[in-house]
Each structure stands twice: as C-alpha cells, then as structure tokens.
Chain A
Amino acid sequence: MIVPVKRVNLVLLPEEKTKVFLELQKHKLFMLKSFNLENHSLFNTEHLVKTQKVIKLLESHQKRKNPFATISVDFKTLDEVIEDEGKVVDEIIELENRIGDLSEQVRRLTETNTSFAAFTFLSVSQQKLDESEIVGFNSYVVDEEKKEYLQNALDKLGVDYEFGVFEKKLHVVIATINEIKTDLAIVLHAVEAKEIALPLSTDPYQIAIDNNAKKIVALEAEIERLGALITEHVGLLPQIKTYYDKEANRLIRDNVPHKTSQHFIVCEGYVRQDQTVALEEVLQKVATTYELEIIENTDEALPTALKNNKFVRPFETITESFSTPSNTELDPNAAMSIWYWLFFGMMIADFGYGLILFVGTLLMLKIKKPRVGFKKLLQVFMYSSVSTMIFGIITGSVFGIGFREIIPSLPAIFISPVDDPMLVLIASLVLGVFHIITALVFKALMLIREKDYLGALAEAFSWILILFFGLIFITDMLSVIWTKNQVVSTISLGFILLGLVFILVFSGRGKKNPFAWAMSGLGGLYGATSYLSDVLSYSRLLALALSGAVIAFTMNLLAGMVAGSLFGLGYVFAILIILVGHLFNFAMSLLSAYVHGGRLQYLEFYGKFYQGGGFAFRPLGYELNYINEIKEK
C-alpha cells in the first residue's frame, strides 16, 4: 500500500549536522529533497577515484579470486574515523606511478634499439661521424639484390664505406669527398638509393644496443619488484573496499544540501507520515536543538512510499522497472505479486527446475549477499520457484520426466500441457480473464475515489460483468463443469447485456451533443477487440509451459538414445546431454518466464488502470558499493 509522505524542513545547528545525518543514515527515515545520488559528482572526488583505481589494480593482481567473498561490517567500523587510513591507497598509487614511469623508460629504450638495429655494422659511433669536418658521411638504403653492383661501383670510385643487410635492405654509410661527388651521385641514382638519416648515438650502435638491453633487464626487474610489492597488498582488499564505502558515505553526509540562516541550517526533505514519530525520536537522541517543521498542503510533487509485507516487497522491483506508482493512486503491488508468482510458476511448471531455482537463489542470497536491486530480483525468483514447484506437482513433471513414468502406480491426476494442451489452454485463458478482472477492480476503485461513479460503471463494472458472465455463459454452453442449464445461461446473458448497456449509455457521460454521446457509446464497445486480444495473450502460459516441457523431454530422449551405445561410452555423452540440455532449457525457461511474466503485468494488467510516473521515497541511507551487508546489533 502507499503510505502518505510529508514534506518537512529539518532545522539543525550547523555544528551538529554531521552527527545528525550519521544517525539518520543508520535509521533510513529521512529523504532529502533534490539529492539524487545516482551519478552524483561527489563520487568523482579525487580520492574516491584513486581508491577505486587501487581496488581495480589490486583485483587484477589477485591470483585466485573467491567469487563468494563478501564484506560484512557493523556500524561502528563504518563510522570510525581513522587517521591516515587512506595512506595505503596513496602508497599503492605511488608504486603504480613508478611502474608506469619505468615501463615508459623500457618502451623508449626498446624503441631506440629498434631504430639502431639496421646499423649495427658501423664500427664508429654516429657522433664521431658527425664531428668529422673533412669528410661528410651519408647513409642510404638500397635493395639487397643491387649489393654486388653497388660494391663494385664504390670500389671503383675508391671511397670508404661500410654496409650491412637488415630486413632484406642494404644499409650503407659512405664517406663522401667533394671530388667524386658527381660520380657517386650517378652510381647512387643507378641503384635507386634512398638517403636516410642515422639515428643519434654517442656509442657505436652495437654497443649502444647491448647497453640498452642491460638497462631494460634492470628496469624490468625493478618493475617486477614493485609489482610484487603491490601484490603484497592484495590481502588489504577488503579493508580498502570498506574504506571506499566509508569515504563515500562520509562525503554523502558532508554534501547534504541545505540552506543556511544566521544560526541554523535548514534541510528540505520528506518523511513517511507513519515514521514521523520515529524520526523525532532519533532527532531527540542526537541533536541538542532541532526543529522538524511539517509543511501541510504543499503544491510540490511528493515521493511515493510503499509499505508492503515481506512477500510483496521484492515484487516492487517489477513495478519499479515499469514505472514508480504516483503517490495518489492505489498500490498495485500486492495483487500484482500474486499474479506474477502464479504465472511465473505456470510458465516453467517443472518440479525439478523449481527446486534448482529455489536452492540456487537461496544459496546466492545466503552466500553472495547481493545488494539491493539484485537481491530483490533473486527474492522474486526464490518465491516464484515455489509456485514453479507447485505447478510441477500439478503437471506431474520433474526434469521433463512424468511422475507416473517414475512411479507407475500413481493415479492419473496430473494435468500436463503435453497430454492435455486444450485443458491447459482453457485454464490459461480463464486465469487471464480473472487477471484482467482484477485490473478492472483497481480501475473501478480509482474511478470511485475520483467520484466518477458513472465512469466506473462504463469503464470498469461493465467489462467485469461482460467478462465474468461471458465466462459463465461459455462454460454453461459447453457443459464443461456442469450440464447446460437454461436458467444459468439466461441470467448470465442478462448480466452481459447489462454490461453492454452500461457501456453504451455511460461512455458518453457529460457529452451534451446526442451524436457525440452515441459515438462515445459505440466507441466504448469497440474496446471489445482489445479485450479479446488481451485474453488470447494469456495463451502464452500454455505455449511456454509446453515448450519447456517438450524440450526437457527431448533432452531426456536424446540422452536415452545415446546411453546404451559405444560400449558404455554412451553414458558419458548421455550425462553431458542431460546436463547441458537441461541447463540450457532451464535458463531459457527462466528468461521467458521472467520476461513474459512482466509483460502480462505491464500490458494486460497495468494497461487497464495504472498511472505511474511517480518518484520513489528513498530515505538517506548508506550507499554501499563494495560492502555487502551491515550487521545490525
């Protein structure tokens, strides 16, 4: 149900702000106005970003990750202020920066060595060649096959030169004197020589390369040593993660938006009406002076606070991902959760799958301790696994094997979508009719609340009559449950007509023009087509149950076919087929049930009455990124 929310102003002494909000975070009673923590810039604070970087770095240094590692802390640890706690983060960042510098040096040396590699034949250093004033030295690249020709030509000219072959190219350095410049140019032109510059070096290239290589080895050893130092800190990961959450929440408290007056600060916010007293109690405990000013009759939009029991609460996420209810409407979650639960089970309808889902989600919840959103989704699955098991018993199916195949003496009471598709189809459609009727009841209640009584007759009660008595009428006609009875069919026909009259007469309520009034009535009747398609939409309950059942059956069949073959090796394949096949079918069934279950709520159910468009009441609490749970004492 939706609980009223009050707009309040909290007046505090500035020096008590931190203390008060620390306590408020613990109790989750007060929502701050316009304080949306999603993508808030405070999370980009330099130190938080650094800490996050360190966490990622340490995680990459972790040799064996424990997927089940969780962090639980108590409030005391969370609120403790420890001097220099962030020091280790800076240390690790420093180490990482040094590794970065050294890696850059290694990269440069490697690059230099690559540029030297072509000229290792030179016996003199580049610097020396450059210093020579009498002779100019030029270097060229020539195709390797022209080597002999060039050698002969250069020998004939009588010039000094050195050369070497590198990557199929002849690299040659020639001492050029002025007298032979023209001749040399002709020779070089003939071999299509390209002039290139020698890379700068004080030592001969080969020596430089060897020296650099030594340096690289030393640098890499140092990098490894520093890396090992970082690895030593891996054990601190839980503490650093906790530290991140502590820091983030401290920043949240420090950044609480407020207005300042001369002596006080004013924080605008909201409180649930039923929690006002609790909030006052908390404030009395921590603040010496405070005032909680309740602002009645505000024009502002108020957040929507939901209060539901343990079963319904997780299902709120299903509604939440459609749209948050507006705070003026009825909370549909209680009704929706039951229908979602029912349809989910019908769509998988296998005892084995239900059991696996139950155990799986239970273990995930207990061991992984997931945080808010995912936790609720897992809870939805866990609750729905129970209906899956119930429908598994009704259909008499465990991992696609019929109960009666296992125990033949069982009576034939099971209703399986494979054996009785028509019966299951009818059951699906009938449930669908009741699902839609539930939606129409909501619609009627909303219209009545708005005092639009004729609207409730025209748009809600009319269709409830038509759908319900239509169902009775068809049941009677087909003599499914009872034999055809004139009285029943006449009465139900009467109510259907009454419904039609409601639509024809009241749809055009408030319209003066008789033509417009008549058109509205006929337009209302046209809604019948959408109701027809809505009801047919529930056939997916059968279709999905059937597809899951047949695929499970097929996997068993395939496994059975290979089991006896290949001198016993077949059993290995059979087990493989069973495992992979059922895992696949389980995953696809789960996905289908989740998605189509949602669709039936969003479209067929919420489409009838739901307004949405509100924003949720999210009281200030601890925002946890790494900590899985806070142990409350």
Chain B
Amino acid sequence: MEMGVALAAIGAALAVGLAGAGSSMGVSTAGKSATGVISEKPELFGRVFVLQALPATQGIYGFLIAILIMLKIGLLGGTPEVLTVAQGWAYMASGLAIGISGLVSGAYQGQIAGSAILMTGKNPSLSTRGMTMTVMVETYAILGLLVSILIYFGI
C-alpha cells in the first residue's frame, strides 16, 4: 500500500474516531440527566430523547468524512486513486478538522444538552429553547465539517 493511502486512511480513522468519541461523551452526559428526568416524568421521553440525540450529530459528521475519504482511496470498492504522500497528509488534515471540532464540541454539547434536559424537566414548554441553546455549540462542529469538506474537495 502506498504511503499516501495509509495517511489518508489514518485521516478517515481520526475523523470517525475523534468525532465519535466526542459524541459518545456528549450523548452519555446528556443521557445521565435524561434518566433522572424520565424517572420522575416518564411522559417527557419524546422531548428529552430529542435533546439527548443532539450531541450525536458530531459522530455522524465524522463518519461522513471518513466514508468520503475511504471512497477516494478505494477502501470501499471502486478504483483506488494513486495518492502522493502530500495528498495523503492533506486527507488527514481533512479528517482532523471534523475530528477535533467534533471531539470537543460533542463533549461540551452534551453538557448543555444535559442542562436543557433538566430545564425541560422543570418546565416542558421550554424544550424548544433548550434545543436552540444546545444547537449553538454544534455550530463549530458544522464549521469543522465544512472545512473538512472544502479541504477534501480542494485536494
């Protein structure tokens, strides 16, 4: 296997791995608050579940970039491209953009999602506002995703 392909593969792994790690942390943090609220008010499951799912998106973004990279280097069928080492590094950079932003924003979005869940528990009519506040954190993951995509298509 070419060095370039190997580097790009590491990029894919970092994208899905780091962003996924961030999401798992986030969803679990939010889930801890969710279980508390549900134990008292089971009827709020729908609203709480949506809030808990919000930090899951970073993992999906990472997965998305990983798939794109894997497609490009031929790990998912199709004809593999011949990559130079420099291109390999560039794909790794593409993976890192969403990887790092996803890791941090996912973990922190979980915290605000958790608070929003507690808020919903106290006053269910505020759940949409809680969602909006939670989504603010995700903006940076979206920017990371965007840069990942732009690097990816720019290579």
Instruction: Enumerate chain A interface residues (CB-CB to B < 8 A).
Output: 321-322, 421-422, 425, 536-537, 539-540, 542-544, 546-547, 550-551, 554, 557, 561, 588, 591-592, 595-596, 598-599, 602-603
Contact = CB atoms under 8 A, between A and B. Distances in A.
Contact of A596 (B60, B125, B135): B135
Given A588-B60, A599-B135, 10 more contacts: A321-B128, A539-B142, A539-B146, A543-B145, A546-B64, A547-B64, A547-B145, A551-B64, A602-B132, A603-B136
B64 A550 contact: yes
15 contacts: A321-B128, A322-B129, A322-B132, A536-B143, A540-B139, A546-B64, A546-B149, A547-B64, A554-B64, A557-B76, A595-B131, A595-B135, A596-B135, A598-B131, A603-B136
Given A422-B153, A540-B139, A543-B145, A598 B132 contact: yes
Interface string B32-53: 0000000000000000001001
B142 A421 contact: no
A596 B125 CA distance: 19
Which of A322, A536, A539: most chain B CB closer than 10 A? A539
A45 B113 CA distance: 36
Interface size class of B (residues with CB under 8 A): 20 to 34
B contact patch SS = helix
Which of A422, A544, A550: most chain B CB closer than 10 A? A550
Nearest to B78: A557
B56 interface: yes
B135 A421 contact: no
Nearest to B128: A321
Contacts of B63: 551
Interface in B98-112: none
A127 B63 CA distance: 76
Nearest to A320: B128
Contacts of A421: 149-150, 153
Contacts, number: 68
A595 B56 CA distance: 13
A550 B153 contact: no
Contacts of A561: 76-77
A544 B60 CA distance: 11
A contact patch SS = helix
A596 B129 CA distance: 12
A321 B131 CA distance: 11
B67 A550 contact: yes
Nearest to A588: B60
B60 A539 contact: no
A540 B147 CA distance: 12
A591 B53 contact: yes
Nearest to A544: B142
A588 B139 CA distance: 16
Contacts of B60: 547, 551, 588
A321 B129 contact: yes
Nearest to B127: A321
Contacts of A599: 132, 135-136
Which of B54, B77, B139: most chain A CB closer than 10 A? B139
B135 A543 contact: no
Which of A536, A551, A598, A599: most chain B CB closer than 10 A? A599
B57 interface: yes
Contacts of A321: 125, 128-129
A554 B143 CA distance: 22
A550 B69 CA distance: 12
Given A588-B56, A595-B131, A547 B143 contact: no
